[in-house]
Amino acid sequence: MSSTLHSLKDLTDSSRCVGKRVGKSAVPSPQMVSPGIMAAMERSILNDVTDESKKLHKLGYYHGLRPRADCEALLKNVGDFLLRSRVMIDHTTKRRTFELIISVYSGVRREHLSLYYDKKTMHWDLNIYRRKRHKHSIVEGRASRFLHLSDMIAYYQANPILNSVKLTNPIRRPDWIITAGCLKYDDQKDELGRGNFAVVIKGYIERRDKPPLQVAVKKLPEERIDDERTERENACNALFKEAHLMNKFHHPNVITFYGVCCDLPPVMVVTELCAGGSLESHLVKTGDAISNGERLLFITEAARGMNYLQRKNCIHRDLASRNCLIAANGVVKISDFGLSKMVEATAKITDDTVPKNLPLRWMAPETINRQPKFSSKSDVWGFCVMIYEVFNNGIKPWNSDDDYRKIGHAIRNGKMPEPPKRTPAEMLDLMKSCWQMDPEKRPNFCDILKEVREMSKKNPKLAYPVAKECTTSKIPGVIRIEPKEEELEKSLMEQPPINTLSSDDLKRSSSVTNTNTTTTTTTTTSEDLEHKCTPKNKNKRSRH
């Protein structure tokens, strides 16, 4: 056995769903390993392909259904390798095939070698060699079939898998990939919301020595899983993009990200469960009982979250009261970072038509065209529309008008509706500045935060209420905390970056982002998640 082999024990030690912090230094060091020990270790895991699909997550280098582009970004040195999977669907029979792939860097390009499992002989093989044998071609080297997947990996660590390349360095999956066995949910009973892009379900994660943790699970709707391959992959990639973004953010007014479950289909993004539901829903249900002081508190907390995101060079693009959630402590949090769907939809905009799946009423003038210019200043415009909702009991502008061409024309010309009558005079000036046609003349979120804080201090009618007087305290499962003055003051000191990236810049830097986030770890208390291998529709208010 070559001394370059890495211990599979190091890569299969998964006593928790989410492991310790992993950086480059955490990659297992080479050591001698007996093939018999490795085979025995995984024999119970890999006896047949059905068990394989359920238990692959025990392999630390198995990255599940992670997108190909993501995986390629991880393979930097010759011999770097990982194991991933994809789902193939026969659209005639609707039969789904679970395919395993070894991705390895040859020094010239990233190679993706699919594996074949023969149920009759119960052996593993590389498809490229199986096809050669079928054609009675000469197969380079030994390249025999293997009873266990671990035998195959061990063999190609010692012998070339392709040309002269060996599987030298297994790439460990990042902490934020959660295993399916930890996640429990009932998609028939616990659905929280549904859209064209994803469905959100209430679930929980099992934890070691602690009660289960309630979470929100976002996944592709069942009908999307059977989409054409390109559409399905685009939807899956969008979930991963959202996860990459959320993994960077840690702020009391931004929803907490726990991880992605992708070892088995469907891919799921797991976040904290906000017991109070959406801000939009609370505004609609509670109506006039909400004081202007509490409304200003909602706006302040949302501004805190957006100021943080602006400093992180994040452009939300879909800011609205429906995407602000009320946490169990009563605090408003920014959510829904599924950004790519809007970029695709804007490509269909013409002077005469606007796609109905766009959140048109919240979009800035410069974004309503075929080459939209998203920026933090377009988020400011959308934030102002959210202010309109807050003082209008959750009712969106142009609520009774479904003429999207007419609405789009009005926004392009800066003809926004009159603010609700209960809107304070001080807020009218802020809204006017946020709805300026020139994006550069709009305030940034730090400025907005300062202004709303001053409103609360100077006008007794706009003073933030104490926790017990907040209407959010009456929501089942919500216990409102007292607004922390020191945290609000600290937010005022947080200045935005000098150069905020545009949406085009973010596109160009996406490959770098994907690479960096693989070594970024969440600060949530996920180390105590317990590892286990055992794996209705409420109408959402219109977003148009």
* Beta bridge mates, 542: none
DSSP string, 118-182: ETTTTEEEEHHHHHHHHTTPPPSS----BSSHHHHHHHHHHS-SBTTB---EE-PPPTTEE-GGG
Counting Cβ atoms within 10 Å, is residue 115 exposed (0-12), middle (13-18) or buried (19+)?
buried
Which H helix or E strand runs over 40? helix 35-43
The DSSP output letter for 341 is H
- Distance, in Å, from the CA atom of 496 to the CA atom of 308, rounded to the nearest integer, reads 8
CB contact at 8 A, 11 and 172: yes
Cβ–Cβ < 8 Å for 115, 127: yes
**C-beta separation of 275 from 378 below 8 A:** no
Smallest Cα–Cα separation from 336: which of 432, 521, 193? 193
* Active-site residue, from 80, 125, 263, 318: 318
Structure tokens belonging to residue 8 = 């599979």
Q: Is 120 annotated as a binding residue?
A: no
Our separate counts of H helices and E strands in the chain read 18, 14
At residue 324, what are phi and psi to the nearest 5 degrees?
A: -110, 125
Other CB atoms within 10 Å distance of the CB of residue 456: 20
| Residue 333 DSSP class | E
Closest of 50, 83, 86, 49 to residue 65, by C-alpha: 86
Q: Is 141 left (phi over 0), alpha (psi -120 to 50) or beta?
A: left
Separation CA 130–CA 115 (nearest Å) = 9
Note if 288 is an active site residue: no
Q: Which residues of 28-40 are buried (b: 16+ CB within 10 A; e: fewer)?
A: beeeebeeeebbe
Torsion sign across C-alpha atoms 191, 194, 197, 200: negative
Tally of CB atoms within 10 A around 279: 28
Q: Are 326 and 279 in contact (CB under 8 A)?
A: yes
Tokens for 436, please give them. Answer: 């300026």
Length of the chain, in residues: 544
Catalytic residues: 318
Residue ranges of the binding site: 219
Residue ranges of the binding site for ATP: 219
